[in-house]
Amino acid sequence: MQRNAAVLVERLRAHPEVAEVRYPGQGAMVSFIVKEGADAADACAPGVRVIVPATSLGGVETTIERRQKYAGDAHVPQDCCA
């Protein structure tokens, strides 16, 4: 998982629509900030073909979620996907 995350981080950092990648350098959790704001972030999760849009971390599937869409998420940038 960690090797896959590292490859994903490299690809996200090279992607022209990604403003910032947040990855501590270990583990498998990656988040990123898309350019163009919240609308672009809303389109990100349903636009991927391999990763499953979901909130839960309880499965073995790779998941993606558009952050700051629920009450209490104000500390998360509006254009963040995780």
Identify the sign of the CA torsion 35, 41, 46, 50.
positive
Confidence of residue 13 (pLDDT cuts 50, 70, 90): very high
Task: Domains for the chain: give ranges and CATH numbers.
Answer: 2-81 (3.90.1150.10)
User: What's the average model confidence in pLDDT over 12-22?
Assistant: 95
In this prediction, residue 48 carries a pLDDT of 82
Asked if 66 and 48 count as a contact pair (C-beta separation under 8 A), the reply is no
pLDDT at 58 exceeding the cut of 90: no
Q: What is the pTM of this model?
A: 0.72
